[in-house]
Amino acid sequence: MTPHIEAGRGDYAETVLLPGDPERAQWMAQTFLEAPRCINRRRGALGFTGLFQGKPVSIQTTGIGVPSFLVYAFELLDYHGVTTLIRTGTCGALTADVALRSIVISGAVRAESARSGQVFGLYEPAGPDARLYALALRRAADLGIAHSAGLTVCSDVFHHPDGRVRFDEARAQGALAVDMETSALYRIAAHFGARALSLLTVVDHVVSDEQTDYSERQALFTDMTRLALDIAVAG
């Protein structure tokens, strides 16, 4: 086991889905996996392993923001031998072309600005595994899932003093959405030579001020989870 994950070697599958919220992790495991077993409860960051279409798949909670995310991603890659990480997260849409409740597939990510709270070279763009990205685009179309794909931005500051203006530069660069973990995902995967992909469900909209209600968010993640698991099996 590691300092933050009580699971032993071999408890995680080679492919791990990474939601931030432990309630989402539990819902995903109980709804989609066959014979799921809980392998981590430490700090409430629930982790599960089960089968999807006969293939072992794990789901591990990562918490909110880059620091929390990196703790779990590092331990999964360094100690547990995980080779593929698929983020199943949430985002805010930055353009009217991206619909509330749709999915954004991050084809590249960069920090939103120098005030994003992300340092150590995170300002330069990073990207997903090319094969996983292509597979995600193809399977999302096959499954009829409403989606967009392209540049996203990442910030470690949720309650930002600049308000909506903070996104002007990102929107000018063509960014579709903002989240808090994707830059960490793509960079740590590259460091370990692992594969990574970020799938994001749009739960609020910067342009229209629309928001989803938290009560609907588990069912809201059905399409994203189906897509992530389909990729996990086919990839």
What residues contact residue 115 under an 8 Å CB cut-off, 6+ apart? 157, 160, 162, 166
pLDDT computed for residue 176 by the predictor: 97
Q: CA angle 110-210-154, nearest 5°? A: 10
pLDDT computed for residue 216 by the predictor: 83
- Based on the residue annotation, tell me whether 204 is a catalytic residue of this protein: yes
pLDDT tens, residue order, the chain (235 aa):
688 888 889 999 999 999 999 999 999 999 999 999 999 999 999 999 999 999 999 999 999 998 899 999 999 999 999 999 999 999 999 999 999 999 999 999 987 655 544 544 444 568 999 999 999 999 999 999 999 999 999 988 777 767 677 788 888 889 999 999 999 999 999 999 999 999 999 999 988 889 998 888 778 999 999 999 999 999 8
Pair 197, 103: CB distance under 8 Å? no
pLDDT computed for residue 123 by the predictor: 47
CA distance linking residue 188 with residue 13, whole number of Å: 18
Strand ranges, E, within 53-83: 55-60
What residues contact residue 85 under an 8 Å CB cut-off, 6+ apart? 15, 16, 18, 73, 76, 77, 185, 189, 194, 195, 196, 197
pLDDT computed for residue 126 by the predictor: 82
pLDDT computed for residue 120 by the predictor: 41
pLDDT computed for residue 79 by the predictor: 94
pLDDT computed for residue 59 by the predictor: 98
pLDDT computed for residue 112 by the predictor: 64
Block residue for tokens 């070279």 = 121
Find residue 49's DSSP bridge partners: 37, 58
- Name the residue type at position 83: T
Q: CA angle 191-21-175, nearest 5°? A: 60
What are the distances in angstroms from CA 94 to CA 66, 119, 137, 154, 217?
Answer: 20, 23, 20, 12, 20
CA distance linking residue 33 with residue 117, whole number of Å: 36
pLDDT computed for residue 114 by the predictor: 53
Does 15-234 carry CATH code 3.40.50.720? no
Q: Which of 11, 204, 213, 230 is catalytic?
A: 204
